Structure 1
């Protein structure tokens, strides 16, 4: 399915019960809606699951120039408007989680809850420099230059060894990502500065990460959760940065444990690490 939002054409998939609350899934940089393949069946029996390819990724349009987190958040609300969805539970991984934090500040009235998964809340100098370097390499050598470094950074060694099929799937996703989409999104990630605003967020928040995540490790994510009132924290064992692919069932359990009480009108229950 294709929809127009915020001056861009987006590819999306909508699955599950038509009368159920909506869970919107937002992927990370250089990935696409395929990372959610094992998760969606675990959610769609109880929820309407909306996943979309981010601007410049997958089968969505790749606009040129630097993107911003505000632009990526407006993409989300525009997609909801196009589908006539007033509110949604939002779950974002990596870049998607950073978009979720932007939505918590810019459009809290559209978000029933937000799960910030494997994502940072600020961009220190070393982080910004890394994205500048990756963008330069992608411009000079194409997305093939991002395949091996990304896979080795995103997944635990054990999962890489056990699941060559998943590694090949991810390699294909990275290769298909537009260079414009990658570099535009890298510019958005470099401006990340949400952590200082967490005490003022009113939307229910879940912070989730993998125990072996190199990009958003527990040492970074747990302090974010401690700044956000009444938020929850879950740490998935034996999982790296793309935790939903390594541990889809545990990821689903954590997400549903957070969302189900909210959907039922009750406060979210504390989750165990």
Structure 2
């Protein structure tokens, strides 16, 4: 697993875990702010980007959490904070279940304990586009599930460039199907009460893909969680509205235990 550690040497570490796309570049709007306070550990998830490889049958969120723990081992970091977006948030929850001694504080962005039927419908639509029209159409449709219409209109050229990049670096249809199957199989509901890590659960009320109420349920189930909601920004509100999120996350991560 290729990874990088940047930021403030000797400071507490923060692991960044992206969503379904798997790319560390998703966190570009957070990197500079976090690097002023922390060591930042970033990596493309297995099967994507610089860690491209075929994924095995039966691939799970547990495998992804073990990968995150292995990256910490390679970096010589015993314990870290963790920020995860959507699927990446599930990785954080699984890390808390499998490797609790490795985790300090947890920030979950548009995550869930068990995938909502509405989100399942969205994944079915996306998989249908992939099957019927191929990767280019799948990637072209992706911003509709990530962003708000005003953002896409104001950033039309940027979104076009991201679509071109995503098409050129597509993770592969089979890898994508296995990663979606992994998030669909994930269910942490029975274990939430045993997750002891202080957690900031964050969401946007206008997220098309994951209802913000999934975050509300998650926060209610975690014993040391608080809920932070933004009114707008869609599924990728960390990209559309990075400033408020960055401040809230850094303030939370720097709190005394």
Aligned to 1:168: 160
Aligned residues: 254
SS of alignment partner, residue 59 of structure 1: helix
Aligned partner of 1:230 in structure 2 is: 224
Higher helix share: 2
TM-score when normalising by structure 1: 0.86
Match of 1:69 among 47, 51, 61: 61
Looking at structure 2, the residues matched to 69 and 90 of structure 1 have their Cα atoms a distance apart, in angstroms, of 15
Q: Structure 2 stretches of 5 or more lacking a match?
A: none
User: Given the alignment, which residue of 112, 130, 143 partners 1:151?
Assistant: 143
5, 9, 13: which is aligned to 1:14? 5
What is the RMSD computed on CA atoms of the aligned residues? 2.0
**Partners of 2:38 and 2:209 in 1: CA distance:** 29
Question: For each residue in 1:146-195, what CA deviation from the matched residue of structure 2 results, as whole angstroms up to 9, or x when unmatched?
Answer: 12322111101111111124413431343212113312211111102113
Deviates more, 1:88-97 or 1:63-72: 63-72
Provide the residue aligned with 1:93 in structure 2: 85
Partner SS state of residue 91, structure 1: strand
The answer as to whether partners of 2:18 and 2:85 remain within 8 angstroms in 1 is yes
Secondary structure of residue in 2 paired with 1:37 = helix
Partner of 2:75: 83
Take 1:183 and 1:233, find their aligned partners in 2: how far apart are those partners?
31
Following the alignment from structure 1 to structure 2, what is the Cα–Cα distance between the partners of residues 113 and 169? 34
By how many angstroms is 1:251 displaced? 1.4
Aligned with residue 39 of structure 1, among 13, 30, 33: 30
Distance of 1:188 and 1:40 partners within structure 2:
27
Q: Is the 8 A contact 1:31 1:173 kept in 2?
A: no
- The answer as to whether partners of 1:55 and 1:181 remain within 8 angstroms in 2 is no
State whether structure 2 residue 192 is matched by structure 1 residue 198: yes
Alpha-carbon separation, structure 2, partners of 1:150 and 1:43: 27
SS of the counterpart of 2:216?
helix
SS at match of 1:193: coil
Give the equivalent residue in structure 2 for 1:259. Answer: 253
The corresponding residue for 1:214 is 208
- Aligned position for 1:186: 180
1:30 equivalent in structure 2: 21
Q: Under a length normalisation based on structure 2, what TM-score does the superposition of the two structures give?
A: 0.91
Contact 1:16 1:47 in 2 (8 A): yes
Structure 1 residues 19-44: Cα deviation after superposition (integer angstroms, max 9, x where no partner): 11111101111251111112101110
Query: 2:131, 2:2 → 1: CA distance?
Result: 24
What is the CA-CA distance between 1:15 and the residue it aligns to? 1.2
Inter-partner Cα distance in structure 2 for 1:152 and 1:128: 16
Q: Which runs of 5+ in 1 are unaligned?
A: 1-9, 268-273
